[in-house]
């Protein structure tokens, strides 16, 4: 079956890479619960089944459903034909934790990560294949060009690892870009952020003009604050660690509460 551009489909055709992605999930738990996004024709799915996972899959393309049902009889009642972004994640495994995995559609890959963050209490680990540039941004560290909004928002809650590159020759049809596989593991101790919504606002505002110093981008949130004159605010956002963005958010919250 041909891939559909409307779904952003690029079918993985490498057994070795599918095996390595499946084994990117780190767990010793028997029957660990796993949700696969976008299984397509099931190249990755079979290795997840081989590992003995309690597996559910989300596939938007209805034409793929009969293929999956024929190939994997055990999945017959475990396939959700729906857009992942519309799935109520609490219902997938009856509010029990699960791991996330997939060869993610490029057009919604960042949204998948943000939804995972919003439901982090349910998702201790994720392994996924992204466009390489996006994968690099998610796990990027301060001072690198790739470091930005998605880096900070993800790493506030998850530790990230870049696992390996995947060349475009391993897909049908070949995408125009390289791909990369990453693993995200939820931090053992939840980062204390007084106002997670404000945290997003602060980070997005800081990077909205990444060449400007924080004293310029933050002045709308820290009106008349002496903090803006300190050395910290002479930095550009790409030099600010995740921990410092958390501190900045908490300072903004205190300042606006005092007004």
Do 138 and 113 form a contact (C-beta atoms < 8 A)?
A: yes
- Give the C-alpha separation, 59 to 222, whole Å: 45
At 208, give phi and psi (nearest 5°).
Answer: -65, -25
Looking from the CA of 257 toward its CB, the CA atoms found within 13 Å total: 9
pLDDT of residue 176: 86
pLDDT of residue 3: 46
Do 111 and 87 form a contact (C-beta atoms < 8 A)?
A: no
Helices 242-258, 196-208: inter-axial angle, 10-degree rounding = 110
Per CATH, the architecture of 196-258 is what? Orthogonal Bundle (1.10)
At 30, give phi and psi (nearest 5°).
Answer: -70, 135
Among 125, 132, 245, residue whose Cα is nearest residue 191: 245
pLDDT of residue 192: 86
- Give the C-alpha separation, 240 to 243, whole Å: 8
- Give the C-alpha separation, 163 to 61, whole Å: 28
Q: Within 10 A of 106 (CB to CB), how many other CB atoms are there? A: 18
Angle among Cα 162, 99, 180 to the nearest 5 degrees reads: 25
pLDDT of residue 258: 60
Q: What is the dihedral of CA 238, 239, 243, 248, to 10 degrees?
A: -80
pLDDT digit string, tens, across residues 179-216: 999 999 999 998 889 899 999 999 999 999 999 999 99
pLDDT of residue 190: 87
**What is the homologous superfamily of the domain 5-186 according to CATH?**
Vaccinia Virus protein VP39 (3.40.50.150)
Domain range summary for the chain, segments of one domain joined by +: 5-186, 196-258
pLDDT of residue 166: 96
pLDDT of residue 174: 82
Mean pLDDT, each 10-residue run in order, the chain (259 residues): 51 94 91 95 95 95 92 92 96 97 93 97 97 97 96 98 95 87 96 91 96 95 92 96 96 81
């Amino acid at each position: 079956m041909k891939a559909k551009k409307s779904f952003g489909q690029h079918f993985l055709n490498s057994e070795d890479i599918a095996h390595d992605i499946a084994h990117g999930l780190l767990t010793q738990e028997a029957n660990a619960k796993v949700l696969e996004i976008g299984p397509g024709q099931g190249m990755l799915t079979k290795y997840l089944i081989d590992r003995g996972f309690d597996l559910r899959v989300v596939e938007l393309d209805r034409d793929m459903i009969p293929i999956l049902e024929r190939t994997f009889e055990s999945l017959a009642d475990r396939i959700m034909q729906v857009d992942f972004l519309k799935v109520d994640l609490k219902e997938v495994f009856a509010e029990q934790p699960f791991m996330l995995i997939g060869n993610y559609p490029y057009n919604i890959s960042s949204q998948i990560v943000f939804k995972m963050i919003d439901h982090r209490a349910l998702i201790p680990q994720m392994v996924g294949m992204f466009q390489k540039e996006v994968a690099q941004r998610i796990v990027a560290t301060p001072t690198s060009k790739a470091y930005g909004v998605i880096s900070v928002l993800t790493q506030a809650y998850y530790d990230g690892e870049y696992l390996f590159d995947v060349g475009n020759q391993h897909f049908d049809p070949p995408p125009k870009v390289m791909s990369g596989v990453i693993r995200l593991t939820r931090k053992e101790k939840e980062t204390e952020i007084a106002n997670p919504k404000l945290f997003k606002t602060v980070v997005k505002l800081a990077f909205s003009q990444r060449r400007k110093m924080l004293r310029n981008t933050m002045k709308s949130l820290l009106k008349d604050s002496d903090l803006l004159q300190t050395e910290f605010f002479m930095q550009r956002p790409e030099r600010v660690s995740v921990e410092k963005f958390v501190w900045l958010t908490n300072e903004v919250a205190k300042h606006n509460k005092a007004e």
